[in-house]
Amino acid sequence: MEAALISPAKATVFGIPAVIFSLIIPLVGVGIFTYIIALRLKPMVKGSPDPRLNRPADRFFKMIKYAVGQYRHPRYMDAGIIHIIIFSGFVILSLRSITLVMLGLSSGYVLPGMSGTSGQIYLVLKDFAETFVLFACLVALYRRIIVKPQRYAVPAKYGKEHTWEAVLVLLLIIGLVTCDMFFEGSQAGAEIQKGFKTKILVPMSGTWFAAHILSFLPVDTLQDLHVGAYFSHELIFFFFLCFLPLGKHFHVITSLPNVFFMKLDKGTVKPVKWGVEDEGLDELESFGVKKFEDFTWKHMLDFYSCADCGRCSDNCPAHAVGRPLSPRFISIKCRDYSFKKYPLTGMSENDRFLIGNVLEEDEIWSCTTCGACEQECPLFIEYIDKIVDLRRGLVDEGMVPQSLQKPLRAIEKRGNPYGKMEKKRADWTKDLPVDFNVKILGKKGAADTLYFVDSVTSYDDRIQEIGRAAARFLDAAGIDFGILGPAERDSGHEVKRFGEEMLFQDLRDRNTDAILNSGAKNIVTADPHTFNALKNDYKGIPPVEHISRTIIKAVTWGNIRFKPVEDPGKIYTYHDPCYLGRHNNLYDDPRNAIDAIPGIKRIEMEGHCRDRSFCCGGGGLMLFYEPIEEKRMGQVRVEMAKQAGANVMVTACPFCMLNIEDAIKTSGLEGEMEAIDLIELIERHMIID
Amino acid sequence: MEILVCIKRVPDPSENEIEVNKDGTDIERDDFVYSVNEWDNYAVEEAIQIRDKVGGSVTVVSVGDEEAEEVVRREMAMGADKGILLSDDAFEGSDGKGIAAILTAEVKKGNYDLILTGAQADDGAGQVGGMLAAMLDWPFASLVNFIEVLDDNKIKVGREIAGGNQEMYEMDLPCVLSIQTGINEPRYVSIRGIRKVASLEIPVHTAGDLGISPKSVGKAGAKTKCLDYFVPELGDGARILEGSTDEIIDELIELLRAKGGIK
């Protein structure tokens, strides 16, 4: 059968057989692309080890759910849907692009398995895909140029706007799909003119429009358009391919592996160096991340993968209160630095200390490790481990803010950041009723359950009340419990997360000994930081649970009953502590515990609850740090509760209590808003027989 | 530049509860934890910064029992090149003059250009720096909060004086300076840093090594004697507020309001 138009493989351009271009363009494109990718892999090869092949089935499932399934995208509905359309389009059109490249070499080429009906179906599907992608790109352009969502803005200190990059890429995608529409449309237009049978034209699709409009043009023009559109597609495609690894669109290539290699265990912190046991740490030349190559290869892949979508910083409490930290720019700055350090041409520059050149000290200390950024990132970029690694480097260099040096030294000497005497660690129990005896486990006392109190509850005047409420609750629930007393040390949760690993290990070892010596079979704590430390940072100790779980068990088994709520007029809201919620997925136990009190009215801080909870300001050592900030995180949080219409904030963390009570006072909301710990609320309402 | 920094191991008031013992001759030291005197920490940091700028070495020295080795080691972890412990039973009970005499003997064994001491110690009387300079017959500046090395023989030194004013001096080397806190921001010493210097040898010099007559130092040589140690009686107009923190704060605000301190 005579073809309506000469295919690109058989056509000539300026008297030269076009097939030569069809060969040269892909070869050059793939060549440049391979060179850039090799360059990008260079620092990763030099980077620190990071084993990420464990639990492959789990990884594969998560990659399907989060990368292919784009599970986190609709958390931002508009951008999410646009992205899902463009992404699905990319997946469908990838086959089309390969086919097109081959069509330039051999006319009528079809991919294996695409010759029959499946090929027909695919062509229909891809026409849909192209049209949807075109539409989604136009909407995206409108958002980028006209709407300009706040989270894309680049503050002056971080450089210039990145909008051009987004717009350029959208134009490239638009170019790709319209070129194919013209390529096929010109063919179909010629076929219509000559009365040939056309391919299936999906009504209202781009190709359909093109075919019908172009069918009025002379066949010669259509022939030029056909070949012109083909080579435009070819050029855009290979330009785009090589442009990807030069900026934020690298994620098109890296996102699947980045999600596959994601951190699987939340709440944990990576070891100082993978493959080096605790005993071998003394042998290490240097600790933490000081220069770029100290990052692990996966953390470098994170930098490459950042799509600059701004969701991390949009949810970062430190960023929200004007601290000098924006997780997005940790990634962008490090990525830009690595591109500069490993340039496309010329020599790479010498090693530089990241802090002071790429990142700032205050930026690194500003993080409360709340995990909001990681919870939001559609690509599972990690921030906490990087921040901790950078802090390890700072600690190793002695670059620790003066405000943190004193509490760290006090923890070293006394086992608590306040520098209080060890022998007074159990003094909080003295204000319990005379006949209420809290056992000190070890040589003298024994019990099944160990209540791990930790420093803030042991020594802080206000928080000691939480300790006493916990003790009374455990007693009322019929749980045989005791404490470690003077043998207890700070759990070291923040010590580890502030980068003082060796001090943490000392605390952990002492506590582990004391816990094992206590003979307890299980551990309960009312402090989510302690809970996370014992659960995720310690090894070989009895199982640990947060007291919210203990409450639920006691209620379920009927060991605890409640009287009706004391103040039925009050409206309660629950503030999710970061280390209970995001880091340990405990969202429902505390809520169910509150709801177990008859007559209690509880509302949610919609949009700011559960995994989108807003950090109160941080716990442990963060209480001592003096950040540069415009206002306190706690104040923002209290405002959220007020906006939601609540007048009592229930939390389940001693540090949240300190920060929120402080924020209520500094916001001038005394009388309007109050804070209570979950265990205090429970203890106040339990019926004691 | 060869720099010697004199340091002292003291009970840190922020990590201890200070109570006078029953006899009233000393404070209860049973549950004490010790650290390097805060002012000395600034002096060592300053010495390290000077060395990093102009070269040379930093030596830290402490007079004390074998437990004082801990603070010498800590300052070596901070970055001092050498540590020396001056320890002898004969040194026990030395007053400020005795300590200065012991240090003077050590200084004379070396070849130092600059000696730094803390302006005072948490448990001291702020005497040693000045006495050491006098015994060596070297120039001395106290409460120094700025140092700039001009050349091999001269330094520029700043002192904070009353009312927050500042004065600047040019001094000949060698000299003795007592360092005020705030001159710099001392670096953090990590547990890992301490472990790294754990096996370094710290020489111990005794009275014999230093050529000091045991009678001239220690209790025997002391020209001052502690007579009494007590918490002062409450005087007129002084009051200690009691109760919970909240109650204390409320009462304090009430008092300040009543006396016109706040409106």
Q: Does B195 touch chain A (CB under 8 A)?
A: yes
Does the beta carbon of B198 lie under 8 angstroms from any beta carbon of chain A? no
Interface test with A, best of B45, B52, B188, B250 (most A CBs within 10 A): B188
Interface contact B14-A406, CB threshold 8 A? yes
- For chain A, the structural domain boundaries read 50-260, 281-396, 415-556, 571-685
Interface A-B, measured as beta-carbon pairs within 8 A, has a size of 64
B111 touches chain A (CB under 8 A): no
Task: Report the pLDDT value the prediction gives residue A2, as an integer from 0 to 100.
Answer: 64
Selecting from B15, B79, B191 the residue whose C-beta is nearest the C-beta of A419 gives: B15
The whole-angstrom distance between A425's CA and the closest CA on chain B is 14
**A657: which 2 tokens?**
């209590």
Q: Mean pLDDT in chain A?
A: 95
The pLDDT assigned to A1 comes to: 47
Closest residue, chain A, to B192 (C-alpha): A502
Cis preceding-peptide flag for A43 (omega within 30 of 0): no
- Contact A396/B192, CB-based, under 8 Å? yes
3-class secondary structure, A512: helix
- Within an 8 Å CB–CB cutoff, is residue B16 touching chain A? yes
Give residue A93's pLDDT.
94
Minimal Cα distance from B189: which residue of A? A398
Say yes or no: domain A415-556 is CATH 1.20.120: no
CB contact under 8 A, A398 and B195: no
pLDDT tens string, chain B, 263 residues long: the values are: 999 999 999 988 777 887 787 777 777 877 888 999 999 999 999 999 999 999 999 999 999 999 999 999 999 999 999 999 999 999 999 999 999 999 999 999 999 999 999 999 988 889 999 999 999 999 999 999 999 999 999 999 999 888 878 999 999 999 999 999 999 999 999 999 999 999 999 999 999 999 999 999 999 999 988 887 777 777 777 788 888 888 899 899 988 888 877 77
| Residue A284, min C-alpha distance to chain B (Å) | 10
The CATH number for A571-685, chosen from 3.30.1050, 3.40.50, 2.40.240, 2.60.60, is: 3.40.50
B185 touches chain A (CB under 8 A): yes
pLDDT tens-digit map of A507-555: 999 999 999 999 999 999 999 999 999 999 999 999 999 999 999 999 9
Chain A residues within an 8 Å CB radius of B33: 413-414
Nearest residue, CB atoms, A506 vs list B17, B187, B191: B191
Q: Domain coordinates of chain B in residue numbers?
A: 2-221, 234-263
Q: Which residues of A touch B15 (CB under 8 A)?
A: 409-410, 413-414, 419
Residue with tokens 């050491």: B132
Q: Which positions in chain A touch B191 (Cβ < 8 Å)?
A: 412, 500, 502-503, 506
Are residues B105 and B132 in contact, defined by beta-carbon separation less than 8 angstroms? Answer: no
Q: Using CB atoms, which residue from A399, A408, A422 is nearest to B187?
A: A399
How many percent of chain A have pLDDT more than 90? Answer: 91
Residue B91's nearest CA partner among B205, B1, B172 is B205
The token pair that represents A49 in the structure block: 């080890």
CA-based nearest residue in chain B for residue A505: B191
- Angle at the Cα of B111 from the Cα atoms of B108 and B113, rounded to 5 degrees: 110
Question: Which chain B residues have a beta carbon less than 8 Å from that of A398?
Answer: 78-79, 187-190, 193
* R_g of chain B computed on alpha carbons: 21
Rounded to a whole number, what is the distance in angstroms from the first to the last CA of chain B? 56
Exposed e or buried b per residue across B194-229, where buried means at least 16 C-beta atoms within 10 angstroms of its C-beta: beebeeeebeebebeebebeeebbbeebeeeeeeee
Nearest to B176 by CA among B121, B113, B120: B113
Q: Is B30 on the interface with A (CB under 8 A)?
A: no
Chain A contacts to B (CB-CB under 8 A): 281-282, 287, 395-400, 402, 404-406, 408-410, 412-414, 419, 421-423, 461-462, 500-503, 506
Q: Does B191 touch chain A (CB under 8 A)?
A: yes
pLDDT of residue B234: 75
b/e per residue A52-89 (b: at least 16 CB within 10 A)? beeeeeebeebbeebbeebebbeebeebbebbebbbbb
DSSP A63: I
Hey, are the CB atoms on A398 and B244 less than 8 Å from each other?
no
Query: What are the backbone angles phi and psi of residue B61, rounded to the nearest 5°?
Result: -135, 140
DSSP chain B: -EEEEEE-EEE-GGGS---B-TTSSSB--TT--EEE-HHHHHHHHHHHHHHHHH--EEEEEEES-GGGHHHHHHHHHHT-SEEEEE--GGGTT--HHHHHHHHHHHHHHS--SEEEEES--TTS-S-HHHHHHHHHT--EEEEEEEEEE-SSSEEEEEEEEGGGEEEEEEEESSEEEEEPTTSS-PPP--HHHHHHTTTS---EE-HHHHT--GGGSHHHH-S-------PPPP-TT-----S-HHHHHHHHHHHHHHTTS--
Average pLDDT over residues A297-320: 97
> Closest residue of A to B185, CA-based?
A402
Query: What are the tokens at A338?
Result: 């690595």
pLDDT of residue B226: 80
Q: Which residues of A86-198 form beta strands (DSSP E)? A: none
Tokens of B16: 């201890």
Helix (H, G, I), strand (E, B) or coil at A17: strand
Helix, strand or coil, per DSSP, at residue A391: helix
CATH 3.40.50.620 fits B2-221, yes or no: yes
Whole-prediction pTM? 0.94
**Residue of A195 and B229 predicted with greater confidence:** A195
Matching CATH topology for A415-556 and A571-685? yes
Q: Which residue of A has its CA nearest to B30?
A: A421
Both tokens of A585, joined, read: 């997925």
**Beta pairing, strands B175-179 & B140-149:** parallel
Q: How far is A396 from chain B (nearest CA, A)?
A: 7
* 3-state SS, residue A542: coil
Chain A residues touching B244 at Cβ < 8 A:
461
Closest-CA residue of chain A to B13: A419
Instruction: Identify the CATH number of the domain defined by range A281-396.
Output: 1.10.1060
- Mean pLDDT, to the nearest integer, of A623-642? 96
- Contact assignment for A502 to B195 by CB distance below 8 Å: yes
